Amino acid sequence: SNVLKDNNINLSPDEKISISVDRDLNISVSGLNDSQKEKSIEDTLNNHSVSGRKYAWALLEQVNGAKRFNGLEDPLEEEKYILYDQVKNKSGVDINDLKLDKNGEIIGGNEAFQKLINGSAYIGLQSTKSFVSDLKKLLTYGIDNVNDMNRTIDFQNNELIDKDVQYGFGKDQLQPWFDSFMKGKSTIDTFF
């Protein structure tokens, strides 16, 4: 709400938008009958950051939290996203371009990617051995067999509303879970 207000974008209480985040952390907006307003919201959200991170990260965390909360998290989808993000950001390579040869070794990529898998480039907190192992597992399973992480959340009347879940973190979504939890009837008994 504040980001939109700070950028002179006003939504009436009856206007509901869907905000989608793709695997490249690009935000797209739909749901309005005004494509120029949608574009303005997209530009605003894509250029906004929270504590130095793209705003799309905050949206992903919200949606993934609701999926976890409802038992709908797909660990393979998240693993694919993490590996895709690491490889793309560190080497510019798309993991969809990688394959395993007949000996089970990763082929494809560029020189920067080869430095990642041979340990001569910094990956991050994960060890090279673990990174390569995770990537080989995904390639063996089949990258096309795992959905790309694309997440969508609704926004209306100054509140985010989780989609496709029974219990969400929107104002009207959390209360039913809390009520059933207090009565001892909730099938979901933890936030974690």
DSSP state of 100: E
**φ, ψ of residue 177 in degrees (nearest 5):** -65, -45
- For 26, the 3-state DSSP assignment is coil
Task: Say what the pTM is.
Answer: 0.80
3-state secondary structure of 192: coil
> Which residue pairs from 181-186 have beta carbons closer than 8 angstroms and sit at least 24 positions apart in sequence?
none
Instruction: Identify the CA nearest to 77 among candidates 2, 158, 138, 36.
Output: 138
Do 76 and 146 form a contact (C-beta atoms < 8 A)?
yes
Tell me: pLDDT of 126 over 90. no
Read off the pLDDT of each residue in 177-191 and give the average, rounded to a whole number.
62
Helix (H, G, I), strand (E, B) or coil at 67: helix
The mean of the pLDDT values for the chain is 88
Confidence of residue 187 (pLDDT cuts 50, 70, 90): low
